[in-house]
A = this chain, B = another copy of it.
């Protein structure tokens, strides 16, 4: 899974799980009127609370996933960039790109896709991580070497492009950007195990694994 493009996965399912009761309110199928009435209506809380407990219509006939695409080999969860992809990404990074916008990501993804499976988010994350880690590295260096050069920007060249946002300080402060995005609800496997358990109520709360 990992992900394929499954773009069109529509919001087809809306299966109700008529069993558990969340103990909340009683729900009443509210008239679909979108009237902005004041009356708040109740609504199906229960079906929401529990994440992946739903029976995912397994093998249920048709699937609109068009992707005949290769499946991502089992276990292949995360993106595994190829040399070419990395090379190009680094090139872009060196070229000054730091936080590509949606359009740019789209193009980059399209291109890198020729060298291997890749999604927009991979590109996005790559830049985020690379940027952060370069900064980290730099900081570490400057600390070790104490003073000296103020790490001027390496930037340079390139960009004939006039638009990209390279103009600001390379790394630093915030800047407003507008990236438009949307979730593409694919169903994710994940469901690491919880499959049928019964007592849903308890599951409501993530039994905190006492992380940190």
Contact = CB atoms under 8 A, between A and B. Distances in A.
A23 B192 CA distance: 41
A209 B172 contact: yes
A14 B181 contact: no
Q: How many copies does the complex hold?
A: 2
Given A22-B161, A208-B172, A186 B88 contact: no
A40 B180 contact: no
Contacts of A195: none
B108 A20 contact: no
A101 B188 contact: yes
A172 B206 contact: yes
Interface in A19-59: 20-24, 30, 32, 34, 36, 38-45, 47-52, 54-55
Contacts of A38: 9, 83, 163
B34 A114 contact: yes
Contacts of A22: 95, 161, 178, 180
B188 A178 contact: yes
Contacts of A184: 102, 180-182, 184
Interface string A168-184: 00111111111111111
